[in-house]
Amino acid sequence: MQHASRIPLCPGCLRAPEPFAAEFFCSSCGTPFENAFPLDAEGRCALCRHGLRGFDAAYCYGPYEGLLREWIHLYKYGRVKTMAGPLVELLTAALPRHERLDCVVPVPLHWRRRWQRGFNQAELLARGIARRWHLPVISVLGRLRHTPTQTGLSNAARRKNVTAAFTCRRSLAGRRVLLVDDVLTTGSTAAACAAALRRSGAARVVLLTAARADRRLAVPYAATADFHSEEIPNHG
């Protein structure tokens, strides 16, 4: 029997990707670690201890690899917008029900990149999760300037690339904001967006992504001595 589908994947490739698995996580940003050494008594990593994240909590479904990476590439670069549905299912599974939120804000694209891609992948995901949580979507973040792609940049270059790149166009005084994107890599973009939301009065910023880069194997036990090296072992 043949099955018609709006998603160009076989049933096997549409099975749910593997969720994140780690014994040690930062209690604030959710970064996975090989052991508890980088975490303080409250379970926070060095970046969170020094207030360099900007957001209060971060949740994601799984690592940016394997099947989940294929899903996101098909959605984002293949422009298969129907993949937003399965990805929203993963976002829904990743966001704890105990969170109390007032609105959903997508990470913005510069108009030039949105024109090239044809859509903002974060906005479609934000609208999907907002419907599940019965929350309004407020597209208040804007890019002040076009930034080169983050792909291939060092952690320091990523931070410099997005410094002061975002602005919030209205007051969010006292609001608890869910910031949505597809992938968290170093967290530079999310931190810059969170800083803009904070400047507009947001009381709490929670980051939600479908995937995040898992750097435990690439940078084993990265020491906490240099907390300025992003993502010590969320687009980006």
Mean pLDDT, residues 152-159: 49
Helix (H) or strand (E) holding 192: helix 188-199
pLDDT at residue 211 greater than cutoff 50: yes
Mean pLDDT, residues 62-75: 93
CA separation for the pair 113, 107 (Å, rounded):
13
pLDDT at residue 12 greater than cutoff 70: no
**Residue that wins the pLDDT comparison between 116 and 224:** 116
Q: Does the predicted model carry a pTM greater than 0.85?
A: no
Tokens of 192: 């810059």
Mean pLDDT, residues 150-179: 72
pLDDT at residue 188 greater than cutoff 60: yes
pLDDT at residue 105 greater than cutoff 60: yes
pLDDT at residue 146 greater than cutoff 60: no
Torsion of CA 149, 152, 154, 160, to 10 degrees: -10
Average pLDDT along the chain:
81
Question: DSSP readout, 79-128?
Answer: --GGGHHHHHHHHHHHS-TT---SEEEEPP--HHHHHHHSS-HHHHHHHH
Write down the pLDDT at residue 221: 36
Write down the pLDDT at residue 6: 66
What are the pLDDT digits (tens) for 20-58?
888 898 988 888 888 899 899 999 998 888 877 888 999
> At 4, is the pLDDT very low, low, confident or very high (cuts 50, 70, 90)?
very low
> At 229, is the pLDDT very low, low, confident or very high (cuts 50, 70, 90)?
very low
Write down the pLDDT at residue 60: 94
pLDDT at residue 11 greater than cutoff 70: no
φ, ψ of residue 198 to 5 degrees: the values are: -65, -45
54: left (phi over 0), alpha (psi -120 to 50) or beta: left
Write down the pLDDT at residue 113: 81
pLDDT at residue 233 greater than cutoff 60: no
In contact, 91 and 180? CB cutoff 8 Å: yes
